[in-house]
């Protein structure tokens, strides 16, 4: 496990839910490496924000994206080398505000990458502005009298866009979250995990989640039932909402064009610059 921690100083606030996400992904990767993977099978991209600092702390290869553009980088990486498991870390502002279009289209085309959404319900790094997932009434720097916009349902939005694996975890339930991450990484197609992540400085939701989160025993029977469960705020469901197989983008593209090795691709790009 120690191998997966870089030597960079960690500046997340003490108690931040990002630590749980960090520990869960390390656990998933460690287990996969102990089975039949190597560390070089995994690559990450991240957005900009407190969540994005995971890029500095997690010792695997990757690319630090621009704000909202982490999935654009991830898709490029996957197209260039389909053998890799590409894991993207995004914030609720990053992936559903600045980068919403990349998120929806990656899900629509069933790009074979994983998006782990650190949902802390605000823009943490820039000190507490409202995000697309901030709750009604959320008080922060940009909404001192309370947020008047209802939030998106991240789960329902991604199901509607076409994500083939959709799940929700909680950063304080590390074993459960790590299992979800493992399933998401191994899933062939676009996999999305909304992680409920308390931000102790601007949106401390530990008490709410500790009381209301409930792990589902099984995947809902159909999309309608999944949607209904995803919206329940009294019993906040954790687990997999959808897991299905459908054609993935890089294979669909490859089936229409002769396959090229990475070397041939680079030569092709250089010749056609
Ligand atoms: C294009 C662009 N717009 C705005 C910013 C400023 N900015 C940096 S981080 C951030 C908010 C990040 O919020 P979120 O994605 O929810 O991540 P968190 O910090 O909460 O983990 C913003 C607005 C930026 N860096 N780039
Ligand atoms: S501001 Fe919030 S999200 Fe950012 S490190 Fe601190 S607790 Fe975590």
Among candidates 98, 92, 42, which has minimal Cα distance to 69?
A: 98
Residue with tokens 């996957």: 78
pLDDT in tens, 161-216: 999 999 999 999 999 999 999 999 999 999 999 999 999 999 999 999 999 999 99
pLDDT at 221 over 70: yes
Span 70-81, average pLDDT = 96
pTM of the model: 0.94
For ligand 1, the distance from its centroid to the CA atom of residue 185, given in whole angstroms, is: 25
The four Cα atoms 172, 241, 226, 229 give a dihedral, to 10 degrees, of: -10
- Is the Cβ atom of 47 under 6 angstroms away from ligand 2? no
Give the pLDDT band of residue 1 (cuts 50, 70, 90): low
Q: What per-residue confidence (pLDDT) applies to 2? A: 61
Q: What is the percent of the chain with per-residue pLDDT over 70, rounded to a whole number?
A: 98
Give the pLDDT band of residue 94 (cuts 50, 70, 90): very high
pLDDT in tens, 14-49: 999 999 999 999 999 999 999 999 999 999 999 999
Span 152-168, average pLDDT = 98
For ligand 1, the distance from its centroid to the CA atom of residue 117, given in whole angstroms, is: 13
Asked whether 129 and 137 are in contact (CB, 8 A), the reply is: no
- Is the Cβ atom of 121 under 6 angstroms away from ligand 1? no
Give the CATH fold of the 2-247 domain. Answer: Rossmann fold (3.40.50)
For ligand 1, the distance from its centroid to the CA atom of residue 65, given in whole angstroms, is: 12
- Is the Cβ atom of 91 under 6 angstroms away from ligand 1? yes
Taking CA atoms only, the protein residue closest to ligand 1 atom 24 is: 67
pLDDT at 158 over 90: yes
- Is the Cβ atom of 206 under 6 angstroms away from ligand 2? no
Give the chain's length: 273
For ligand 2, the distance from its centroid to the CA atom of residue 207, given in whole angstroms, is: 16
Q: What per-residue confidence (pLDDT) applies to 260? A: 76
Q: What is the 3-state secondary structure (H, E, C) of the chain?
A: CHHHECCCCCCCCCCCCHHHHHHHHHHHHHHHHHHCCCHHHEEEEECCCCHHHHHHHECCEEEECCCCCHHHHHHHHHHHCCCCEEEEEEEHHHHHHHCHHHHHHHHHCCCCCEEEEEECCCECCCCCECCCCCCCCCCCCCCCCCCCCCCCCHHHHHHHHCCCEEEEEECCCHHHHHHHHHHHHHCCCCEEEEEECCECCCECCHHHHHHHEEECCCCCCCHHHHHHHHHCCCCEEEEEEEECCCCCHHHHHHCCCCCCCHHHHHHHHHHCC
Interhelix angle 174-186/18-35, nearest 10 degrees: 50
Question: Exposed (0-12), middle (13-18) or buried (19+): which is 216, by Cβ within 10 Å?
Answer: middle
Give the pLDDT band of residue 128 (cuts 50, 70, 90): very high
Atom of ligand 1 nearest to the CA of 91: 15
Neighbours of 67 (CB within 10 A): 17
Span 92-107, average pLDDT = 98
pLDDT at 257 over 80: no
Q: What per-residue confidence (pLDDT) applies to 178? A: 98
For ligand 1, the distance from its centroid to the CA atom of residue 26, given in whole angstroms, is: 24
């Amino acid at each position: 496990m120690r191998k997966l921690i870089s030597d960079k100083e960690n500046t997340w606030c003490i108690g931040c839910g990002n630590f749980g996400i960090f520990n869960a992904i390390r656990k998933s990767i460690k287990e996969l490496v102990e089975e039949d993977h190597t560390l070089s099978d995994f690559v990450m991209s991240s957005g900009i924000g407190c969540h994005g600092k995971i890029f500095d702390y997690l010792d695997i290869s990757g690319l630090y994206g621009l704000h909202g553009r982490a999935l654009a980088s991830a898709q490029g990486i996957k197209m260039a080398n389909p053998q890799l498991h590409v894991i993207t870390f995004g914030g609720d502002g990053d992936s559903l505000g600045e980068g919403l279009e990349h998120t929806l289209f990656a899900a629509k085309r069933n790009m074979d990458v994983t998006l782990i959404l650190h949902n802390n319900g605000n823009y943490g790094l820039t000190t507490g502005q409202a995000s697309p997932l901030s709750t009604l009434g959320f008080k922060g720097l940009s909404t001192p009298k309370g947020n008047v916009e209802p939030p998106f349902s991240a789960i329902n939005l991604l199901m509607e866009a076409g994500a083939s694996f959709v799940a929700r975890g909680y950063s304080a339930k590390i074993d459960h979250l790590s299992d979800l991450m493992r399933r998401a990484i191994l899933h062939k197609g676009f996999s999305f995990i909304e992680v409920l992540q308390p931000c102790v400085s601007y949106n401390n939701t530990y008490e709410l989640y500790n009381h209301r989160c409930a792990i589902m025993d099984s995947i809902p029977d159909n999309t309608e039932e999944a949607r209904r469960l995803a919206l329940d705020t009294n019993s906040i469901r954790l687990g997999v909402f959808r897991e299905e197989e459908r054609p993935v983008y890089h294979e669909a593209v490859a089936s229409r064009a002769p396959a090229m090795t990475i070397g041939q691709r680079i030569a092709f790009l250089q010749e056609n610059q």
